[in-house]
Structure 1
Amino acid sequence: MIKLYNSGAYLLNGREIIEDGPEAAAVLKSKLGDSIPSKEEAAKNTIAYGILESHNTSGSMQKLKIKFDRLTSHDITFVGIIQTARASGLEKFPVPYVLTNCHNSLCAVGGTINEDDHMFGLSCAKKYGGIYVPPHQAVIHQFAREMLAGGGKMLLGSDSHTRYGALGTMAMGEGGPEIVKQLLSKTYDINMPGVVGVYLTGTPAKGVGPQDIALAIIGKVFANGYVNNKVMEFVGEGVANLSVDYRIGIDVMTTETTCLSSIWVTDEKVKEFYDIHGRVEEYKELAPAPVAYYDGMIYVDLSEIRPMIAMPFHPSNTYTIDELNANLYDILDEVEKKALVSLGGSVKYSLKDKVRNGKLYVEQGVIAGCAGGGFENICDATDILNGKFIGADEFSLSVYPASQPIFMELVKNGSIAKLMETGATIRTAFCGPCFGAGDVPANNGLSIRHTTRNFPNREGSKLNNGQIASVALMDARSIAATAANKGYLTSAMDIDVEYTKPKYFFDKNIYENRVYNGVGKADTSAEIKFGPGIVDWPAMGALTEDVMLKVVSVIHDPVTTTDELIPSGETSSFRSNPLGLAEYTLSRKDPAYVGRAKEVRAIEEARQAGENPASKDEEAAKAFAKVKEVFKDLDENKTAVGSAIFAVKPGDGSAREQAASCQKVLGGMANIAREYATKRYRSNLINWGMLPFLTDVEELPFENGDYIFVPGIAAAIREKSAIIKAYVVGDELKEFELKLGELTDDERDIILKGCLINYYREQ
C-alpha cells in the first residue's frame, strides 16, 4: 500500500523511480547515457528547490533567507502578532496579509473580547493595508486557497495547517514572531530542507476519500520522522486521477507528518480551479525536471488504500476501519493502554464500553474545517445520506462548509436540504471542532471527525475537571456511512451509492460584498480599536551572563503537544491578554506548573527591582550559596533566575506561539528536551528569548524542583559554543552537558536581547 525507500531516489521524467545505491549509477547510465547529472545537480531539479531558490535572498542555497509573497493569520494569533510588530516599529503591511476570524467566532467566553479582537483586526487592516475576512465567511485555509494561493508563490501563515501545495503554492505554518519578521520586511531563516518525493500511482477505490490517503501516509511516517522538517513533493501519474478538492484534502494533513511544507505537480485541473475562482493568471505549471533527486521517496498505491480511522489520541494512531471492526476488543484495548500515557491516569478512560452488539457505537460525527469542509467532501457525504436519517439516539452529525461560497453552492444544488432532512445540522465556516471550541461531546463521548487533529482535549473536554471525551479522525464519506447506520462505525466502501459529483460554481460577490481589502491602501491616520481585553506584552529583560534555572515541570511523555503546553478551546478567548492566557499554561498536563513558575518569577522580579534575589526565597538562597562555594565571584544580583521545563519531545501540533510566550511571561527562561518535535515550536522559544536546550544524557541528572546553574551562558551563545556546561545544585554541584543546537546569528542576538521585540526595538 505504502512503501518508504531506505535512501534517496532519482525520478526520471516524473514517472520512473531509481533508488539510490550501489547500482543506481549503472541504471542511470543505461537510461541517460553519459548525460547523468550529479546527485547535487539533480537535487536542484525538484519543484521545491526552484521555488525556494526564487524566494531566497541570502545568495546561499544552504543557508536560506526567505521572503514570502503573502501572509495569513486568524483571530487566535493576529492580535499578538500585530501588537508585537507595532512594538517593533511596524508602519504598514509590506505584502498582502489576510486576517480571518474563524477560530473564535462562536467562542463566547469572556464577554465582548472576541468581537473586540475582530474590530482590532479590521481597524489594523485599514491602518496598515491588510485584508479582513469577517466571522463566518471562511476558515483561514479555504479563503487562502480561493483568494490568496498562487502557482510558484510562497505563503506564510500563523497556523500549522498552512498548506496549499496542491495549488502549486509552497506554504508554511509558523509561530507569530515569524510573521512579525515578514511584516518588518525581514527574512525567514532556515537551512535548505530535504525534499522527499511522494509518488502517487493508481486511483482511489470508490468510497475512499482524501482523509483516508492522508491518514495512511501519516501512520507510516510520523513515528519514524521520515519527513520531519522536510518538504513533501507529490508527483506521479496518480496525481492526475485526483480532483483538486481531493488533492487539497490530502495536502492539508501533511502538517501531521511534521514536514516543513508541501508542493505538488500542477496540471489543467489546477488551472481550472484558479479559473473558477477568477484568478487564472495565478496558475503556473510545475513539475520536476527530467532527472530529479529526492532525499527520500514515499510510494503510494492509491488503489490499495482502504477507509481509515485514526484512533485517539493522535493522527498517526491509524487502522483501517475493516481492521478495527474485525479486531474490535483487541484494538480498543491497545488504544486504551496508549491513552494511559497521554492521560496519565488522571481520569477513567474506556472505549470498550462503546461496543454494542459486537459493533462500535459513536455518539457524534463532525465534517468540518479546512480538511473536511470542502465542496466535494460534503457532496459525497450527501449522496451517501440521501434518503436516510441519522436516528434519534445519542448520535448527532454536524457539517461545517469551509466557506460561504461553498455553503452557497451547497444550498443551490440542494445538498443542504438533503442533509438537513437526515437530521444533520449545518453550521457556518468555523474552526472550532478542530481545536476544542465547537461540538464538544458529552463526557466519555466518542466523536468521529473529518478535521485535522485528535489530540487530548482538542474536542473540548477538561481532564482537570474530571471530563474526558475523545476523537477519532475519519473521512467524510465513512462518517456519512456511519451516520446512515445511525452511529455504528461503518466504512464508506460498505455503502451502495452513486456519487453525483455536481460541478462547483464560485460566487465572487460573496467576498466582494463583505471582505475588506485594503492592500495598497494603508491609512496611517486610521485609529486602532482596542478592547479592554487587549493588553500589551510585559517588559522582558535581556539574558544575563550567568543564569539560575529552577525546573518547575518534568514531562516524560514520548511527545508533548502544544495543546498540552497551552490548551486550545475556550482558553483561546484570552489570547490577546498575555498574562491572562498564561494562567492556563500546562493546566491540563501539570496543573501545579503556573504556581511554581510564578514563585520563580517573583524572585527574578525582585532582582530586577534591585533586591538580592537570594533574600526572597529560602531555596534560592541555598542554591546561590552552594554555587558560590565553587563560583566565588558570582554576583546573584546580576544573575537572572528563571523557570525551565523538561519534556522529551515538545512542540508537536499547533503553530501558536503562545505555547512559548505563556512560559516566557510567567518567567520561563528555558526548555530542556531530547529533541523538538517541530521547527516552529523551537523557533517560538527562540523568538521569545527562551533557551532551547537539548540534552542527550541518558538518565536525567535533575528532578522537578531542582535548581540548575548555567555559568557563562551569554558568552557561550556569543562564542557559538557547541557544549554548554551546567550544574544541578544539590548537596554538591553535579556537572552535566547541554546543547543549543544550530542557531543563526540573528537567533543568537534575539536570545541575548531577551526576545524578538527587544531585538527589533534596539535596531
Structure 2
Amino acid sequence: MVKTYDSVKLYNSGVYLVDGKEIVPDTETEKLSSMVEFAPTKEDAKKGTIAYSILEAHNTSDNMDKLKIKFDAMASHDITYVGIIQTAKASGLEKFPIPYVLTNCHNTLCAVGGTINEDDHMFGLSAAKKYGGIYVPPHIGVIHQYMREMMAGCGKMILGSDSHTRYGALGTMAIGEGGGELVKQLLCDTYDVDYPDVVGIYLIGKPNPGVGPQDIALAIIGKVFKCGYVKNKVMEFVGPGVSNLSTDYRNGIDVMTTETTCLTSIWRTDEDTKSYLTAHRREDDYKELNPAKVAYYDGMVYVDLSEVKPMIALPFHPSNVYEIETLNENLEEILREIEVEGAKIIDNPNIEFKLTDKIVDGKLKVEQGIIAGCAGGTYSSIMDAASIIKGKSCGNDEFSLSVYPSSQPVMMELVKNGAISEFMAAGATIRTAFCGPCFGAGDTPANGALSIRHTTRNFPNREGSKPGNGQISSVALMDARSIAATAANGGFITPATSLDVEYNCPEIKFDSTSYDNRVYNGYKVFKENELKYGPNIKDWPKMSELTDNILMQVASLITDEVTTTDELIPSGETSSYRSNPLGLAEFTLSRRDPEYVSRAKVVNKLEKARVEGIDPTTIDVNLFEVFNKIRTIEGSNEVNPLETGLGSVVYAVKPGDGSAREQAASCQRVLGGIANIAREYATKRYRSNLMNWGMIPFLLDEMPEFEVGDYIYVPNIKNMLDGNMDKIPAYIIGKEVKAFNLHIANMTSDEKSIVKAGCLINHNRNKRK
C-alpha cells in the first residue's frame, strides 16, 4: 500500500528564504537578485539562519566549520545520571560547572530489582548536594517538561543524555547525546562537531480542529526519515504558520524531531513564545529569533498545516505513517503488509504477529490507549483530549485509557480546569509524571494486544513485551485527540476530526509551588557530603588501551536495514541495571542475538589474559593457528600475540537509531568490544558513544564476507587513525586469509585520543598525569 499525503513536500535543492516568507530555490538565483537589491552570497546567506547565530555564540573555537560548543545547562534522568557522574568522578570531577538537572522520571516506580531504583535516586540527590546540581524527585516532572518550564530560553543551548532533548520551540538549541558528551562538559571540555547543514521547516496555514502536534510531527517524520533528508542536520522551523501554533503545541511537534534523526531543532520565536515564558515567570529568557532578511537553507520541508490530517504510525517505527482515514479505507491490505514486515523484524518462528485479527465489523479495534510523557502529556494536548472524552465512556471491556500529565504543575492546572475529572468520570486512570509508557516500563498491554499511544516511539518491545518469553504486543503512535476519540468510540480507531467538539483550553496559569517545595536546587552550592551508594551501583571496569595491531572476532552479524539502540541494549526492565555496568552488559543484544554475550566473553577473557602478560595463544589453540595465518601476511611475520589487542566486533548495516543511551555502546565495551563495522551509523550520537567508549567506528561499503566466529586482523591501526582513514587494510582470518578494506569517517583529534586510550575515562586520566 503506497503511503501518500500532500501536506508535506521536500525541496530537491537548497533554498533562500527572503523576509521569512518567500522561498527561492538556489537554482533560481536570478529571481533572488530581482527581489533583493544587494543579494548576499550563498556563504553569507548561510549565516542568516537562526541556528548560525546560536552556534556562533556558543562556539569556543575560531573556526565555524569545526565547532567546539559549550552549553548553558544540561539534563539527565535516573537511567543515565549515575553512570555519567561515576565516569566524571573517575575522571577528576570536582563540581558541576553549569546547571545540571537530575530528574527521576524513568525508574520512577521503584518496582523492579528491590531497592536499586531508589538507591540510584539517593545517589543523585547526594551528587546534587556534593557537586552543586538540581534534583527533581520522582513523580514531580518528566525531564523535558521540567526543562521547558524552568530552564529553556531563547538563544540558549542545552545538552541532555536523553535522545528527546529538544527545546527548539522555546528558542533553545538542545541536543541529546550519550553520557560521554555530558562528562566532557562537566570537565569543562567541549562538544566537538562539524558545522551542520541547516534545513528549513516552512510552515503555512493552521491545523484543523482535532489535528494535534503528533499528527504534524508524524507527517514530517514519514516524509524525511527513510530518505535521510535531515539526518544529523538542524531543523529550523520558520514561516507564517509558526504563529498559528501555541508554544505548548509547538513543544509537542518539536520533541518528535528526534525521530527524524536530525541533530537538533530551533524555531523562530514570537509573542506567544514570550507569553509562555512570562507565564512561567521567565520573561527575561525571551528574545525574538528570526532568520535574516535573506537566509540560505541546505534543504526545505514545506508543511501546509491546514492539509495535515490525523495520522497513525503503525508498528514498528514512527516513520511507518498513514493518514487514519487512509488506514480505515484500506484496513485489511495495510495490516497484512504490516504483519509481513513485522514478522521479519520480530524474527521468531514461535511468535505469530497478528493485526488483522483486530478487524471487527470492518473497523480496527485496539485494546489500550496511553497519553503520556514529554510528547503527549502536555497541558494543551490533555485539555483538548478532555474536551473530546467529556461525557463519554471508555467502556468496561478490554479497552483501557491512561493519562500521564508531564509535570506536577501541569497536573495542578488540569485539576483546576476540570480535565482530570472528565477523564476519571469516563473511566480513564490518571498517573503521575513518568516516562515508562515510552520505553516499556509502564502499562504493558496484554499478549497480542495493540496499544495506541501519544508517546515518542513504537519500536519493537518499547511497550514492555518480551518476545524471548513468547510475549508480543505492539504500539501505534497517534495524537492525544484521536486517542480520546477512539476511547469515546469503544476502542475503534477514530480520527478526532470526525467528531464535532467544542474545545476548551484556557491559558495555563503556571504554579511552581510543587517545584518550590520539592525540587532541590543546589546550583553553585557545594556541600561536604559523600556520595550515597547502593549495592547495585558499581564502578566501571578497567579497559585496555588500543594497540598498534588489533585482532577482532565477529561476535554478531546483523543484516537488518536498521538496528535500534533498543535491540543493542533493551529498554524497560533492564533500566534497573543501568548503574551496574557488568550486570547490564548481560542483556546486550539479548532480543536480537541471544548468543552474543557468551561469544564476546570468550574473546574478552583472552584479552584480559593478554593484559596480564599471559600469551592468549597458550589458552586457545585455535588462536595459535590464527596467529600463524596472520604471520603469512606481508609485514606481519613478527606479530606478537602479547602486543596485539583482542576484542569482539559487531557488524550491523545501520546501527544506533533511537535512544541516546550510551549503554548501547558501553555494554559492548564492558564485554570486550573493540569496534563496530557498519555501512553507516544511524545517528551521530551512537557513533560518538562508540568512540567515547574506546571503540572504533569502522565503515564497510559492501556486504561483509566474514561470518560470526571469524577473526578480522587490522595492522597498524593507530597509525591509520593519524593518517588516511579512507582505506584501511584488513584481513579476514578464516579457512583462508582474505584481504579487504575498511574505512572511518572523520574523527576529531580528541576522538582519536579517546579511542587510543581505550575509553574516555582513560583519556581523562592520561590528561591529568
TM-score interval w.r.t. the shorter chain? over 0.9
1:8 and 2:34 matched: no
**Residues 109-129 of structure 1: CA distance to partner in whole angstroms, max 9, x if unpaired?**
111000000000000000000
Aligned position for 1:579? 582
Q: Distance in 1 between matches of 2:604 and 2:748?
A: 28
Q: Distance in 2 between matches of 1:32 and 1:488?
A: 54
1:757 and 2:764 matched: no
Aligned position for 1:606? 609
Give the 5 Å matches for 1:63-102: 63-102=66-105
Aligned position for 1:658? 663
Secondary structure at 1:340 match in 2: helix
**Residues 82-115 of structure 1: CA distance to partner in whole angstroms, max 9, x if unpaired?**
0000000000000000000000011521110000
Please, which of 414, 420, 437 is the counterpart of residue 418 of structure 2?
414
| Count of aligned residue pairs for this structure pair | 758
Secondary structure at 1:716 match in 2: helix
Query: Does the CA contact (< 8 Å) of 1:107 and 1:570 recur in 2?
Result: no
Q: Distance in 2 between matches of 1:653 and 1:342?
A: 16
**Residues 598-627 of structure 1: CA distance to partner in whole angstroms, max 9, x if unpaired?**
111111111112111112223322211211
Question: Which shows bigger deviation, 456-465 or 677-686?
Answer: 456-465
**Residues 516-536 of structure 1: CA distance to partner in whole angstroms, max 9, x if unpaired?**
00011112x111100111000
Aligned position for 1:683? 688
Q: Distance in 2 between matches of 1:130 and 1:202?
A: 42
Secondary structure at 1:740 match in 2: coil
Q: Distance in 1 between matches of 2:595 and 2:358?
A: 33
Aligned position for 1:644? 649
**Residues 315-335 of structure 1: CA distance to partner in whole angstroms, max 9, x if unpaired?**
000000000000000000111
Aligned position for 2:3? none
Aligned position for 2:566? 563
Residue 731 (structure 1) shift: 2.6
Q: Distance in 2 between matches of 1:25 and 1:234?
A: 23
Aligned position for 2:48? 45
Q: Distance in 2 between matches of 1:721 and 1:240?
A: 47
Please, which of 359, 363, 383 is the counterpart of residue 363 of structure 2?
359
**Residues 386-410 of structure 1: CA distance to partner in whole angstroms, max 9, x if unpaired?**
0010111110000000000000111
Question: Which shows bigger deviation, 569-578 or 623-632?
Answer: 623-632
Please, which of 138, 141, 145 is the counterpart of residue 138 of structure 1?
141
Detail structure 1 runs of 4+ shifted over 3 Å in the superposition.
Answer: none
Pair 433,653 (structure 1): closer, same or farther in 2 beyond 3 Å: same
1:527 and 2:533 matched: no
Please, which of 262, 265, 287 is the counterpart of residue 265 of structure 2?
262
Secondary structure at 2:698 match in 1: strand
Query: Does the CA contact (< 8 Å) of 1:120 and 1:530 recur in 2?
Result: yes
Question: Which shows bigger deviation, 164-173 or 620-629?
Answer: 620-629
Q: Distance in 2 between matches of 1:731 and 1:666?
A: 26
Please, which of 507, 515, 518 is the counterpart of residue 519 of structure 2?
515
1:176 and 2:179 matched: yes
**Residues 388-445 of structure 1: CA distance to partner in whole angstroms, max 9, x if unpaired?**
1011111000000000000011111111111101010000000000000000011111
Q: Distance in 2 between matches of 1:415 and 1:3?
A: 36
Secondary structure at 1:239 match in 2: helix
Q: Distance in 2 between matches of 1:477 and 1:657?
A: 34
Please, which of 426, 429, 436 is the counterpart of residue 433 of structure 2?
429
1:208 and 2:208 matched: no
Query: Does the CA contact (< 8 Å) of 1:170 and 1:263 recur in 2?
Result: yes
Query: Does the CA contact (< 8 Å) of 2:343 and 2:352 recur in 1?
Result: no
1:289 and 2:292 matched: yes
Residue 46 (structure 1) shift: 0.2
**Residues 618-647 of structure 1: CA distance to partner in whole angstroms, max 9, x if unpaired?**
332221121123321000011111000100
Aligned position for 1:732? 736
**Residues 682-725 of structure 1: CA distance to partner in whole angstroms, max 9, x if unpaired?**
0000000001000012x312111111011111121133432110
1:696 and 2:696 matched: no
Give the 5 Å matches for 1:177-256: 177-256=180-259
Question: Which shows bigger deviation, 503-512 or 474-483?
Answer: 503-512
Query: Does the CA contact (< 8 Å) of 2:155 and 2:172 recur in 1?
Result: yes
Aligned position for 1:477? 481
Q: Distance in 1 between matches of 2:494 and 2:548?
A: 61
Q: Distance in 1 between matches of 2:73 and 2:724?
A: 33
Query: Does the CA contact (< 8 Å) of 1:165 and 1:262 recur in 2?
Result: yes
Query: Does the CA contact (< 8 Å) of 2:700 and 2:741 recur in 1?
Result: yes
Aligned position for 1:349? 353
Query: Does the CA contact (< 8 Å) of 1:717 and 1:748 recur in 2?
Result: yes
TM-score (norm 1): 0.99
Give the 5 Å matches for 1:114-129: 114-129=117-132
**Residues 476-495 of structure 1: CA distance to partner in whole angstroms, max 9, x if unpaired?**
00000000001111010111
Q: Distance in 2 between matches of 1:71 and 1:732?
A: 51
Gaps of 5+ in 1: none
Residue 503 (structure 1) shift: 2.2
Aligned position for 1:493? 497
Q: Distance in 2 between matches of 1:385 and 1:621?
A: 70
Residue 651 (structure 1) shift: 0.2
Aligned position for 1:451? 455
Letter in 2 for 1:755: C
Q: Distance in 2 between matches of 1:721 and 1:43?
A: 30
Secondary structure at 2:47 match in 1: helix
**Residues 158-212 of structure 1: CA distance to partner in whole angstroms, max 9, x if unpaired?**
0000000000000000000000000000000000000000000001011100000
Secondary structure at 1:410 match in 2: helix
Q: Distance in 2 between matches of 1:444 and 1:680?
A: 33
CA-atom RMSD, angstroms? 0.8
Query: Does the CA contact (< 8 Å) of 1:546 and 1:710 recur in 2?
Result: yes
Query: Does the CA contact (< 8 Å) of 1:701 and 1:736 recur in 2?
Result: no
Please, which of 706, 715, 720 is the counterpart of residue 716 of structure 1?
720
Secondary structure at 2:452 match in 1: strand
Aligned position for 1:25? 29
Secondary structure at 1:45 match in 2: coil
Give the 5 Å matches for 1:624-643: 624-630=627-633, 631-643=636-648
Q: Distance in 1 between matches of 2:546 and 2:588?
A: 23
TM-score (norm 2): 0.98
Q: Distance in 2 between matches of 1:80 and 1:341?
A: 34
Secondary structure at 1:480 match in 2: helix
**Residues 327-376 of structure 1: CA distance to partner in whole angstroms, max 9, x if unpaired?**
00000011112212311134211100111111101000000000000000
Pair 324,721 (structure 1): closer, same or farther in 2 beyond 3 Å: closer
Q: Distance in 2 between matches of 1:553 and 1:107?
A: 33
Secondary structure at 2:206 match in 1: coil
Query: Does the CA contact (< 8 Å) of 2:110 and 2:118 recur in 1?
Result: no
Query: Does the CA contact (< 8 Å) of 1:549 and 1:709 recur in 2?
Result: yes
Aligned position for 1:373? 377
Secondary structure at 1:407 match in 2: helix
Q: Distance in 1 between matches of 2:595 and 2:73?
A: 41
Secondary structure at 1:204 match in 2: coil
Residue 502 (structure 1) shift: 2.0
1:550 and 2:536 matched: no
